[in-house]
Chain A
Amino acid sequence: MDTLYWLLAANAVVWIGFGAYLAFLAGRERALALRLARWERSARG
């Protein structure tokens, strides 16, 4: 396997890692937004 293949693999690993963490953050953001909306509804009565 040539060098370029290994280089692309290394870069792919990094961007997949970043992507996975950003997806995790987006999921948490969505969950927090839902929780906040629920809290606001209950606070209003």
Chain B
Amino acid sequence: MPKLLALAGGAALAGCQWLVWCYAPEEATLGLMQKIFYVHLPLAWWALISFFVVFLGSLAVLARRSEAADRLCAAAAEVGVLFSGLTLLTGMIWARRSWGVWWTWDPRLSTALVMWFIYAAYLLLRGLDMAPERRRTVCAVVGVAAFLDVPLVFVSARIWRSIHPAVFASRGGGLEPEMKLTAVACVAAMGLFWAALVWLRKRQLDLAARLEAADADED
């Protein structure tokens, strides 16, 4: 099932290429370069959703000592770090072309980079050699605390002076209907792919946990 979902997501992303290149009109000010938006925005949104899943899963670990929720956190954090890393890289390429620099210490960019480091550190923490119960609790506490930065990334472009555009700053995001449809389709297609990756990774972690439990029983 997750493999089918991954295939559907991959096919949907490929289909979205037609919308991006043939259907959506060229933006008047940014020109052709604005088409990075259709990959940059979905990556960013699904990265934020990944970290929200880590937050919810961490709460479940703390409240119910759920091992399955802990593994969901691990899977979502990995995919979130991948997606936010790609968001930063595509943003840097866009910035280099549009602003003339690879990086600037803008509030949105800085908070997003801090978020990436926090969750990369979270993944390193998960890899440390600790008693499983202790690791689950420590990671759950970090998973809840780490989420503090996520809403900050979302609102940073609006509450501070930022050169990064805020998509929700004006009603409707200031997009042409064709652009809006393309953006929505790209977000949905990326969502399918994101769900497949999280599902696949969670399933692997479940199997690894079962094998470890079976090995422990034999010992």
Q: What is the CA–CA distance of A6 and B97 in the complex, to the nearest angstrom?
A: 7
8 Å CB contacts to B: which residues of A27-41? 28-29, 32, 35-36, 39
Interfacial chain B residues near A42, Cβ < 8 Å: 218
Tally chain B residues at the interface, Cβ within 8 Å: 30
> Is A3 a contact partner of B31 (Cβ separation < 8 A)?
yes
> Is A36 a contact partner of B207 (Cβ separation < 8 A)?
yes
Q: What is the CA–CA distance of A29 and B197 in the complex, to the nearest angstrom?
A: 13
Q: Is there a chain A Cβ closer than 8 Å to B39's Cβ?
A: yes
Q: Is there a chain A Cβ closer than 8 Å to B94's Cβ?
A: yes
Q: What is the CA–CA distance of A21 and B94 in the complex, to the nearest angstrom?
A: 23
Interfacial chain B residues near A36, Cβ < 8 Å: 207, 211
Interfacial chain A residues near B90, Cβ < 8 Å: 10, 13-14
Q: A25-B200, A32-B207 are in contact. Are A14 and B97 (CB under 8 A)?
A: no
Q: A21-B197, A25-B200 are in contact. Are A13 and B208 (CB under 8 A)?
A: no
Of B31, B35, B86, B215, most buried by chain A (CB within 10 Å of CB) is B86
Q: Least Cβ distance of B74 to chain A in Å?
A: 12
Interfacial chain B residues near A13, Cβ < 8 Å: 86, 89-90, 93
Q: What is the CA–CA distance of A4 and B78 in the complex, to the nearest angstrom?
A: 31
Q: Is there a chain A Cβ closer than 8 Å to B82's Cβ?
A: yes
Q: What is the CA–CA distance of A35 and B212 in the complex, to the nearest angstrom?
A: 10
Interfacial chain A residues near B207, Cβ < 8 Å: 32, 36
State which of A3, A17, A21, A28 has its C-beta within 8 Å of the C-beta of B33: A3
Q: Is there a chain A Cβ closer than 8 Å to B167's Cβ?
A: no
Q: Is there a chain A Cβ closer than 8 Å to B162's Cβ?
A: no
> Is A6 a contact partner of B93 (Cβ separation < 8 A)?
yes
Q: A3-B32, A10-B90 are in contact. Are A39 and B96 (CB under 8 A)?
A: no
Q: Mark B38-50, 1 if CB is under 8 A from A, else 0.
A: 0110010000000
Q: What is the CA–CA distance of A10 and B82 in the complex, to the nearest angstrom?
A: 15
> Is B211 a contact partner of A14 (Cβ separation < 8 A)?
no
Q: What is the CA–CA distance of A10 and B98 in the complex, to the nearest angstrom?
A: 13
List 13 other contacts, CB 8 Å, given A6-B97, A25-B197, A28-B204.
A3-B31, A4-B32, A6-B94, A11-B39, A13-B93, A14-B43, A17-B85, A17-B86, A17-B89, A18-B193, A32-B207, A32-B211, A35-B211
